[in-house]
Every structure is written in structure tokens, then in C-alpha cells.
Structure 1
Amino acid sequence: MPETAAPATVGNSEFDRATALTPHEPGVYGIDLPEGWTIFGALNGGYLLAVLARALGETLAHPHPFTISAHYLSASRPGPATVRAETIRTGRTLSTGQASLFQYEADGTETERIRVLASYGDLASLPDDVRTTAKPPAFPPLAHCVGPDDAPGSADHQPIADRVLLKLDPATVGWALGQPSGKGESRAWFGLADGRDADPLSLLLAVDALPPTVFDMGIKGWVPTIELTAHIRALPAPGPLRVSTTTRNLAGGFLEEDAEVWDSENRLVAQSRQLARVMQS
């Protein structure tokens, strides 16, 4: 029998290669954004956030994003890009910085795609004390959840689907059968397809990886992110993550989407909120 490939490791995985930066000068990095992290031709917002977070991690005095807010100014496309990062302030426990990603238009004009403001610290140095009323989402084991390959009919296969493990709670996929619940919920097991364990950067991908909650509200179409703020609360334990996303208010064509990410030890390791716009098809 053929040997099973060993899982990828942090620092040696497709995700790490896809977010790797080439330093040009202090605070300036180059990257060739790969097509493999796209959905319907657009680069995933969580993946792009991880790219900028990596640049800040290589620029600031502290290693981990504690809070990071991104404004998506224009659509990013696969191909060459430049990331510029700078330190705003360095303190004893936190460093604050900002970063932007730029690409060139066909006429040679440099265009800013994303701008980020973030505070970094050391998650490994945090105390173990936890006092919370938050509870991990309850849904079936991974083997009883459904992924893109289980979709009925001839669903469009997207490149990013080959790079992530995404198994959705059956209770939140009625929209795929024409029976949305109307609750604005999505829940799933999440991981990287090559078996790489989660770290703070891949948590930024996790908060923006599930199908848009508006699907569960009976609305189809493109849902571009306007702004996304993520809080990384702890270093995640090895194993798949559980992610839940909810929307409580869709008004004027805009919605908020809140995400929670829980690790295999039932710890809340990441939270996010984004404002997105519904572009109905």
C-alpha cells in the first residue's frame, strides 16, 4: 500500500509558501500572490490579511497579532504585489504598526488594495486565567459534516477549496438545497488541507473562510468585505478548528458578520467582525 504523506508543518506548508515575503528594503516586501487562494477569481480576504500580518510580524518587535483591522480598498488579483509595513510605536508588551498592499494597474499606476492597522504582542507570555461565558459551538463530528465535494449537482469548484479542509454543519447548508433557514448562520470544521496545524496567521484565514452567512438568509451573490477586525486570543492547540459565523442585521445592502474560532481544547482562540456588502446576482 502507498505510504500516507506526512502532514505539513508550520513554516513548511503551502500556506507558508503562499504568504512568504521577499524583503527589498526595511519594511518593504515583495510577493507574488498565487491564484490558488481565489474564489470566483478574487483572492480570499483572510488569506490577504495573513499576508499583511506576516509583513508586520517581520517588522514589529513582537511576534503575534493581538488585534488587526483591515480596510479593503480595491480588489486584489493574483500576481505581483508590494507590501509596505512600518512601526508606529513599540512598548514593553505591545507594538503597533501599519501595513498596506499595493499592485500595479495595466497603465502602470500603483494602487493600494488593503490598509491594515495592528497591535502585536507575545501570545506565549499571556497568563492562563480565563473567565468567560462563551461556549464552543455545538455541531456534529467532522465525519458527519459536509464539504464542497458533497454539494449536489455541478457546483463550481474554486481553487481555495483544494487548500483548506472545510466541513460544514448540515444544519447550516440548507441554502445549497434551496432551503435556507433564514437565521444567518454558518458553522464548520476548518483546517489546512495539507494537515498543517493552526497558528495565529492561519486563524486570520479561518475567520473569513466559511460561506457568507447571507446564503443562509436566502441571498446569493458576491459579498465583498469592506472592513475586517480580528482578535487573536491564544495560540491554538493542534487539530482542526471549529468556526461559527453569524449575522444579525442586514440593512441597506450591508451586513455585519461575527466569527468565533475554537481549538481542539475548547478554547476561544480568535474572534472577528467584518462589514460586508451584498452584491446580489
Structure 2
Amino acid sequence: MSQIPTYRFDQDTALTPRPGEDGLYDAELYDSWRIGQGVNGGFLLALAGRALAAELGGGEDGLGHTDPFSISAYYLSASRPGPATVRTETLRRGRTVSTGTASIAQNGEERLRATAAYGDLDGHAAGDVRTSATPPDMPPPDKCVGTELAPPEFLKDAPLLDSIELRLDPSTVGWALGQPSGRGLIQGWLRLPDGREPDPLMLLLAVDALPPVSFDLGLPGWAPTLELTAHIRAKPAPGWLRITHSTRNFADGYMEEDAEVWDSTGRLVAQSRQLARVRQPRP
């Protein structure tokens, strides 16, 4: 008998294999991961990532690859809370890296399609690391701003914020007071409120967990993701994740959004870039 997941994130990304159909799973998209009118893109990426881990983690040669190295997803239509199916396919199985695809659909309409490279991150813990990147400098979590302080009308539209614990750097929340800095930067700390420690699948959620950086440009509308590519560089250590989101170019209603995720030891464990369409409220 398989063990029932005890943490909310694992319960909500659980997959039920469809009998007699290899690579097809039933899933549920929960309202608790909604932001605005749709389900959060990072949660959808993690759901696809779990299905790919099941697809690429087995193998007659014993070379199971369960950790995402790189995953690119196109968001084809808005995902709504409710039943969904996830279909996976192996494209190539190698000795160190395997490649596969995953598709999430609802009522016959495809919501997301992803292609990913998977391997084994356990060998990366003591690997050769040469980087000029440094963790963002910000106050500790207890000196940052909790999302519970957001306006009630904002919280009503973002039940996602009850599923995560997010504390934002006070220097990057001027937009919430009507004073955006114009830098295109939001950063903060992230963990799951029930004590679940971070792992590679949670990193797929983390790269899309902060408010859109367009808020800091004075653009308050929602910013649905069109495409997101995440690179997982190492398994994170237990504890808070430190995340920075930034943009250098907003043009004609579209922006790129770059994310870096650092673990509690100060190691860069994930990077991502996405293209988002910034929706402006009607006058």
C-alpha cells in the first residue's frame, strides 16, 4: 500500500495513474493555488514536474532520472480549479540525462505543454561550483513583510497566499502602498507553512511564487505567464528559500521576468526566465 502524502503540496500534486494507459494520470487543480482567475503557473509546473519524475524515474536499465535539470513550459490556456489530466512521454533515455514531455489538459483543452531534461542531482552536492552570483541582501524573515498585511481585496483574489508563507523585503513593497520604485524588482523569503522542506519540485513552484514584478513598475494588473523555463541547479538545504524576481524590459504589454532562488546555505539552487503578458485594469 502506498503511503498517503502528509504535506499539502504533495497531496495537491498527487497523481493517479489511469489504468491501462501508460503515461496518463488524473489530477486535481485546487482553488487554494489560484491567483486571480487561474491556477498559479508555478504549481502547474510542479504538477507537470511530478508526472515527468514518474515517467523518467523508472527504466529497465536502472537509470532512473527523477530530478528536473531544465524544464520549459508553454501556458496555452488558463487553468481553472477542477479535474485535470496529465500525459507524459519519454523522448530520450540517456545514461546521465533523460528527456520527456508533459501536457496538462482540462475538458479536452490543453492548458500547458512542457519539455524537460531530468537526471540525478545527488551528485551535484559536492560538485565544482564557480559563480559570480551572490544572494540578494535583505532583512531576515522576521523583519520582512508578511502577505497577511496585503489589502483584503487582494487576498480575496489570491488564495495561493494561504498555501505558502511569503515574506517580502520591505524595500521592494512600495507598490503595495501606491509607491512603486520603478526598478522592476521584488524579493523575499519563501517556505511552506506546514513545515515541508524544499526539494527540486518545490523549486518549480518557487520560481513563480512572488507577485509579478510589473507591480513595482506601477502596473497593477495581473501578469499571466506565456512561457517559463526553469533550471534546477542543486537540491536545496532545509529552511527558508531566498528569492529575487526582476525585469529589465517591459514593452507593449509584455515583459521578461527573471528569478533566482537561493537556499538557506546561500547556494543558488534554481534560476528561471519567463515571458508574461501584463494585463492592465480597464479605466
Q: Same fold (TM over 0.5)?
A: yes
**How far apart in 2 are the matches of 1:277 and 1:253?**
6
> What letter corresponds to residue 55 of structure 1 in structure 2?
A
Residue 27, structure 1, aligned to residue 27, structure 2: no
Distance 1:114 1:237, change over 3 A: same
> What letter corresponds to residue 111 of structure 1 in structure 2?
E
Normalising by structure 1, what TM-score? Answer: 0.92
> What letter corresponds to residue 22 of structure 2 in structure 1?
P
Aligned to 1:171: 171
State the Cα RMSD in Å: 1.3
Residue 113, structure 1, aligned to residue 111, structure 2: yes
> What letter corresponds to residue 49 of structure 1 in structure 2?
L
Aligned to 2:211: 211
**How far apart in 2 are the matches of 1:136 and 1:128?**
19
How many equivalent pairs are there?
267
Residue 55, structure 1, aligned to residue 54, structure 2: no
> What letter corresponds to residue 6 of structure 2 in structure 1?
N
Aligned to 1:123: 121
Determine which of 31, 35, 42 is the counterpart of 1:39.
Answer: 35
Aligned to 2:260: 260
**How far apart in 2 are the matches of 1:93 and 1:238?**
26
Residue 137, structure 1, aligned to residue 136, structure 2: yes
Aligned to 1:76: 79
Q: Which moved more, 1:25-34 or 1:220-229?
A: 25-34
**How far apart in 2 are the matches of 1:153 and 1:57?**
38
Following superposition, the deviation at residue 154 of structure 1 comes to 5.5
Following superposition, the deviation at residue 147 of structure 1 comes to 1.4
Distance 1:152 1:99, change over 3 A: closer
Aligned to 1:182: 182
Q: Which moved more, 1:149-158 or 1:254-263?
A: 149-158
Residues 71-118 of structure 1: CA deviation (Å, up to 9, x unaligned): 0000011111111000000000000000101111xxxxx111100000
Residue pair 1:163, 1:194 contacting (<8 A) in 2 also: no
> What letter corresponds to residue 52 of structure 2 in structure 1?
L
Residue pair 2:73, 2:112 contacting (<8 A) in 1 also: yes
Following superposition, the deviation at residue 163 of structure 1 comes to 1.1
Following superposition of structure 1 onto structure 2, how do residues 171-250 of structure 1 map, counting pairs within 5 Å? 171-250=171-250
Percent identity of paired positions between Structure 1 and Structure 2: 60
Following superposition, the deviation at residue 12 of structure 1 comes to 2.5
Following superposition, the deviation at residue 218 of structure 1 comes to 0.5
Aligned to 2:11: 17
> What letter corresponds to residue 56 of structure 1 in structure 2?
L
Distance 1:73 1:152, change over 3 A: closer
Residue pair 1:72, 1:227 contacting (<8 A) in 2 also: yes
Residue pair 1:21, 1:55 contacting (<8 A) in 2 also: yes
Q: Which moved more, 1:89-98 or 1:156-165?
A: 156-165
**How far apart in 2 are the matches of 1:76 and 1:17?**
19
**How far apart in 2 are the matches of 1:149 and 1:27?**
40
Residue 65, structure 1, aligned to residue 65, structure 2: no
Unaligned runs of 5+ in 1: 1-9, 105-109
Unaligned runs of 5+ in 2: 57-63
Following superposition, the deviation at residue 41 of structure 1 comes to 3.0
